[in-house]
Structure 1
């Protein structure tokens, strides 16, 4: 309450010192201005959201919730994946600890993957000791292949069983599980080291780990940094929601002025010694599991509802009334489609050719979808239409189906026009 009162007094003083002047749109022009370049009219449309939804546009009302903005992280705020960058750094510096059994790392890991990892990584170091991955390309290859493609190097499925494909994906959940035995502080230190290397590497740089070629660089998008900071100055409460590891994402989110309390990602359960386990906290009435309810597709909605709006139990999985939804949401992949679609003022999409998300974006059912090419190395135009009417929706059982609007009508196939 003390913080709310202080903020209210500061905002009121600022408004009193600078009375709003009517702009061309008829809205106050005292809101902070975006300064970066965007595709088409996206900058003007984002500025309109800031001008009309920000607390800078009207005198604050005590007790009224600040408007919420939520961003995905990897390939939305940064170019390239920061959890993958940390994993790559860790493999190059022998930071993955040998598990007693590889099958202990994931409830869905197959016998074939267990055998492949055991054969490649060996049993020469004690359980709990660092694997010499920097000098063992076979071990590194198996880990990266499973992370990237959910298969072993021989092509065998690495994960099997039943899971809700709109709430989790095993290879995403597996990365935090690979760091079992470390403390969050240790994992954060690996993320900081990886961050230094990735920001220093030239744009476009790659590295070879085993036989895998992976990106060696990460960049903050200047446009997104500008947008986040402008939203914050305009009174928005800005959050990150990611399917990466939370200690890693927290290291990076500080770079755009977002603190750990506003950063949601896969949150590992710790043992009595404060070390990461293969278990993670659940959402929406689901208890701690080994990866069944991570911030992934519908899981991102659940984590936003639970952690930002305080909605508990099964209700957290459901779309909420407008006052309990973000004003602005931004993402780049199908994993973001649900929470980005929940936004009430603007759905910001970076085009990475992900079918379900792009079907929603191009259909633009409410007229509030904003599509922007990637700011670095944008993809070329997708040659074929997105199969929205038949096979772009990710079903819970892993199959695909048509994308439906809220009224039940089918979204027609969409051509790629923003690239």
Structure 2
């Protein structure tokens, strides 16, 4: 296991050359096999705008509305400016319009961070730390004691824990991922609920001590298993049965490819580990440099437990990831070049996505920021669906999940009382951009 280095030696490295080569080889492999439903074609020389396919179908008039957004913003739909009108409104510009997608349960069915987490426990890839609290600064003393008691007798410091067979250790790591110890004590405390999800960060931090090439290979192997497993497959992790399959949504594949063909810069912003999502995004032709996930810092070529910062949060502070307002920060910073504290605030219209898509509270801020359309995949998540059903700006599109959609929620979403999570974790009313309270909303798209 890598020992945390001094501040000057700890740095963010997106990928080593070996990891890039691995990722490229996996991208070629997945496009040549049946592992993904994606169908990638080369862009023809014609500059005619592509149309979003009619099948498989979208809910209601969502396809038509998405096509109108594409037609309104795509470079191929804009007139070529003459020498006199170049640079004026109505002509093509050199800056492509941006679309940003959450990944888990937005572009794919199920969660690729979960898939990687389950895979590393089933394959003994967690290296025992000297202190469990060194992996995550928000780990409670109770969780540190529980992990030490369950796991430390299984392996020396720096060696793989035998989590495939040691159910007590696997169960404790699994429980912490879900927010408690096996005895029910809180696993994490003291964090900003608008910027950090310690459970999400935990998946990345459990791979401390591995190289980026190794982590990329683990993600690729987990992906292959999840895509080849029949729908409904479960895996054994400790004493738990867990979801063992993932599928790309065909409609989202088509939307992404149509956007790419028509000149949009398509980005992914996910609260799963960045190397993991890069492997999955490659299957849809999204390049690694347009994927933003939980970004770990490296020292001496191996991943540390520390995280890249955003805005005015420095690297290694470990207090912000791609989560709620943290997603906005990383999108503003990495896509639009906004620096400092301003990255956490709403950007001016010219530095926002045209289209943004998500499925949960993790996504509500950045999806709301889009200037053209906000696409909400309905997983009955209160903060997101309050904004979507209220539809204050008339630009929200709601679509049921494309695979195994949920039944109608029987009770209204409690928007007026508990539709928003404050930084301290307390709940309050969901509000519109003007500060007014959103009334409770009925679930009607399912």
TM-score by length of 1: 0.91
How big is the shift at 1:290?
5.1
Q: Partners of 1:66 and 1:298 in 2: how far apart?
A: 24
Give the match for residue 34 of structure 1.
53
Following superposition, the deviation at residue 31 of structure 1 comes to 3.6
CA displacement at 1:185 relative to structure 2? 1.0
Residues 346-376 of structure 1, C-alpha deviations (whole Å, 9 max, x = no match): 1001001111100000000011100001111
Question: What is the match of residue 66 of structure 1?
Answer: 96
Aligned to 2:149: 119
Instruction: Work out whether residues 351 and 418 of structure 1, in 8 Å CA contact, stay in contact via their aligned partners in 2.
Output: yes
| 2:438 counterpart of 1:411 | yes
Residue correspondence of structure 1 range 11-410 to structure 2 within 5 A: 14-15=46-47, 30-35=49-54, 36-59=56-79, 64-148=94-178, 150-160=179-189, 162-271=190-299, 273-289=300-316, 291-410=318-437
Secondary structure at the aligned position of 2:269 is classed as: strand
- Per-residue CA shift, 1:58-77, capped at 9, x if unaligned? 14557531100000001101
Runs of 4+ in 1 over 4 A off after TM superposition: 60-63
Aligned partner of residue 46 in structure 2, secondary structure = helix
Distance (Å, rounded) in 1 between the aligned partners of 2:244 and 2:433? 41
Q: Note the C-alpha offset of 1:13.
A: 7.5
* CA deviation string 1:320-364 (max 9, x = no partner): 111110000000000000000000111001001111100000000
- Asked if structure 2 preserves the Cα contact closer than 8 Å seen for 1:31 and 1:54, the reply is no
Q: Deviations over 1:138-176 (max 9, x none)?
A: 11111111112x10011011112x221100111111111
Between the aligned partners of 1:154 and 1:390, the Cα distance in structure 2 is: 31
Alpha-carbon distance in 2 for matches of 1:288, 1:347: 31
Question: Secondary structure at the residue paired with 1:108?
Answer: coil
Deviation, 1:115, is 1.5
2:98–2:355: 8 Å Cα contact kept in structure 1?
yes
Point out which structure has higher relative CO (alpha carbons under 8 A, 6+ apart): 2
Mapped partners of 1:289, 1:381: distance in 2:
43
Distance 1:320 1:120, change over 3 A: same
CA distance in 1, matches of 2:127, 2:92: 51
**How far 1:289 moved relative to its partner?**
2.9
CA distance in 2, matches of 1:137, 1:124: 11
Shift of 1:212: 1.6
SS at match of 1:389: helix
- Indicate conservation of the 8 Å contact 1:182/1:275, yes or no: yes
Aligned equivalents of 1:299 and 1:105: distance in 2? Answer: 20
Could you tell me how far apart the structure 2 residues matched to 1:177 and 1:290 are? 14
- Equivalent pairs, count: 393
C-alpha separation in 2, matches of 1:142 and 1:67: 45
Say which SS state the counterpart of residue 135 (structure 1) adopts.
coil
Measure how far apart 1:34 and its partner are: 2.7
Tell me by how many angstroms 1:123 deviates: 2.8
Give the conservation status (yes or no) of the 8 Å contact 1:31–1:57. no
Deviates more, 1:384-393 or 1:111-120: 111-120
User: What's the secondary structure of 1:371's corresponding residue?
Assistant: strand
Q: Could you tell me how far apart the structure 2 residues matched to 1:189 and 1:370 are?
A: 36
Deviation sequence 1:88-128 (CA, Å, 0-9, x none): 11111111111011111111111211111112113342211
**Root mean square deviation, CA, Å:** 1.5
The residue aligned with 2:88 is: none
In the alignment, the residues of structure 2 paired with residue 179 and residue 12 of structure 1 have an alpha-carbon distance, to the nearest angstrom, of 42
Distance 1:351-1:62 versus aligned 2 partners, 3 A rule? closer
* Number of the residue aligned with 1:3: none
Q: TM-score, normalised by structure 2?
A: 0.86
| Alpha carbons 1:168, 1:294 under 8 Å: kept | yes
For the Cα contact (< 8 Å) 2:154–2:162, is it kept in 1?
A: no
